[in-house]
A and B are shown apart, each in its own frame.
Chain A
Amino acid sequence: MATSQTTPETALTFDLRSDTVRELNQALHGPDARGLIRVVNPDGRHAIAVGIDADCEVEIDGHVGYYCAGMNQRATVRVRGNCGVGVAENMMSGTVVVEGSASQAAGATARGGLLVIHGDASARCGISLKGADIVVRGSVGHMSAFMAQRGALVVCGDAGEALGDSLYEARLYVRGAVGGLGADCIEKEMREEHLTQLRELLAAADVNADPSEFTRYGSARQLYNFNIDNVGVY
């Protein structure tokens, strides 16, 4: 995780009412992508802070549109507002923190890193998750973790209908009620290794919750051709 020597007063700042999203993203893809970078007046624009591959911190003051912080690598991106569709989609590493709520498909296909959503996430949160971890302090909508392959989805509130439909090997932890389990998703025993993982994820997300209050869900492994001899590759 990046450590910033920059103060908010001296940080490189982009005002999206005068600077374009393209100018911002080009700067984030170049040598200026270090320390703290501030983005003000995002006004729901799409594709803010996408494709970063640098040890920097980006703070966005306000609500953002679609695909914010998509494909992120190494950077820490904090949104002081709500996010549109597909926040941190296909994230590879780093951390994305949403202080408000996120729309659909948050963290879709993300391969690594940590996505923290302090509000709610709507439908299809963590769809096709491929290795990243997602912690949602609120609730998630229907079809969350659909076809999720690796990584973990932690939900401190409730989950909507068809949780974990067609699930592969991602781990799902839900503290509240589940509207219904999707095909091949079942409740599973919470062993010590899971409590440890959950404790670490909650700590990393700076979310105060008791791991013992969560239920673990995972794949029944009836729907996809799981072969125990191949377990090492998952």
Chain B
Amino acid sequence: MRYMALIYGNEAASINMSEAQGQAMLGEYNAFSEMATARGALLGGEALLPTHSATSLRVREGKTLTTDGPFAETKEQLGGFYLLKCDNLDEAIEMASQIPGAKQGTIELRPIVEWD
């Protein structure tokens, strides 16, 4: 099965990180990616810029309405994701529990719809 691991966290804390802290976090994420790749589980993943760079839009009656900011203001924001290939939920949980962001924020695991 494929799972999307959505990484939620307090982005203000990440923005206010020192240079050294930021480097350390990057190192942890690289280590996770290497581990997941070695296990053949990593299908993809990216980090996102903070929500102040977000644009939301909707099309109504043919008109595109755009607004500044994220879809919803929440305490924890979506900061990145991994696309993982795992046999089952237990394996996905085990894998996702090693994502560095799990220690401060929350990882939401969503199964991918398989069209077949």
Question: A and B from one assembly?
Answer: no
Chain B residues proximal to chain A, CB less than 8 Å: none
Chain A residues proximal to chain B, CB less than 8 Å: none
